[in-house]
Amino acid sequence: MIEKDTQFPKNNGPLSGIRVLDLSRILAGPTCTQLMGDYGADIIKVEKPGLGDDTRAWGPPYVTGSDGMPTAESAYYLSSNRNKRSFAIDITTPEGAETVRKLAAQCDIMVENFKVGGLAKYGLDYDSIAAVNPAIIYCAISGFGQTGPNAHLLGYDLLAQAFGGIMSLTGAPDGEPMKVGVAVADVVCGLYACTAVLAALQHRNRTGDGQYIDIGLADTQVAWLINNGTNYLTSGQPPQRLGNAHPNIVPYQVFATIDGHIVVAAGNDTQYARFCEVIGRADLATHIDYLTNMNRVKNRNSLIPILTAEIAKLTKAELVAKMEQYGVPGGPINTLPEVFESEQVTARDMKISLPHATAKSGKIDLIGNPVKFSKTPVSYRYSPPTCGEHSAEITAELLTDIDDKLP
């Protein structure tokens, strides 16, 4: 586990020198800006004085303070707000809005996720910001995008999953539609937003032109329907819920062993044949009904019960070991304690620890960044800030003698 004891480790990230004004909250926008912060950008997070990001109240659990009581720092908030500096500003006042415009004039990127048109009344919409900084890249994240009949609706992850179809594909065949266990629509939207901003940054590097990015939570949800969405567009047949099975690959699902559950992911005919050897049923690899993946998908209802019965005779450890020996993709279904205690997660620095002033232990544990750059490594420079923690610092740095700093 990585532990960072210094507040300002060296920043050699690929976005070092880029400054981002972050007016987003909840998860999609903060995911986008945390990623840019991990890549080296200076993220100035604008928060409502006294309250801050909505997710600060989304608990328990909260960080345990020095008195043994919960602090105001929720685990949900911590998940997407490291490598940022918090500036408490009331944007609804003329003075607060003017402060944001002055900051925007000195930033490369601005990210917001207010309702459509919500910032215009404060003079913080794209046209107003571009007037003081024509080169800025302004990314507006909303529930349904800036246009269309649903543009006025608020957007939350659950609503996007419902609207965009993923819930109709998730869950047991005879059960109710099911959301994914984490706010994946928000997270993927944040990833799309980050890649869009980086693409716009490259365009600006070539031309000097800033631009406006309109990205909707529901749009990105539809985009990551991927093969299931294209299956429907190709066949005209809406896919049915398959639980943990796959619409296009068999066997590719969860199976029960004597003492637990495993996944089998035989992605081609060779891997399937090897798996048949693993379970002592080589005959199933040459059976005409199961010889090819096309036939296995067609005849899944007869094949899966056979595989289920054979797998139920083996222990989890025995089966996983044999699958690894035979080169068959699969493995155990880990609980979160098993995930974060695994040697693989440790080796890949996917659990990190950062200093935090409010924590009784003096530090907090977070999930690490998965990207491994060979020359411009990710750095963890700031713990998720308390609300307004850096207001004075940013004021002194960017708002003192502002007229002398602006172009």
Active centre residues (catalytic): 186
Say which amino acid occupies 99.
T
Determine the Cα–Cα distance for residues 91 and 121; give it in Å rounded to an integer: 10
Which residues are CB-contacts of 320 (< 8 A; sequence separation ≥ 6)? 262, 330, 331, 332
Determine the Cα–Cα distance for residues 32 and 23; give it in Å rounded to an integer: 12
Determine the Cα–Cα distance for residues 314 and 311; give it in Å rounded to an integer: 6
Which residues are CB-contacts of 223 (< 8 A; sequence separation ≥ 6)? 192
Q: Beta partners for 45?
A: 22, 86
Determine the Cα–Cα distance for residues 302 and 306; give it in Å rounded to an integer: 7
Determine the Cα–Cα distance for residues 289 and 97; give it in Å rounded to an integer: 68
DSSP for 254-290 reads EEE-SSSEEEEE--SHHHHHHHHHHTT-THHHH-TTT
Establish whether the linkage from the previous residue to 61 is cis, with ω within 30° of 0: yes
Q: Is the dihedral of CA 138, 139, 144, 147 positive or negative?
A: positive
| Residue ranges with strand state E in 232-379 | 252-256, 261-265, 330-332, 351-355, 363-367
Determine the Cα–Cα distance for residues 319 and 331; give it in Å rounded to an integer: 9
Q: Is the dihedral of CA 287, 293, 298, 304 positive or negative?
A: positive
Both tokens of residue 332? Answer: 């155990």
Q: Beta partners for 2?
A: 352
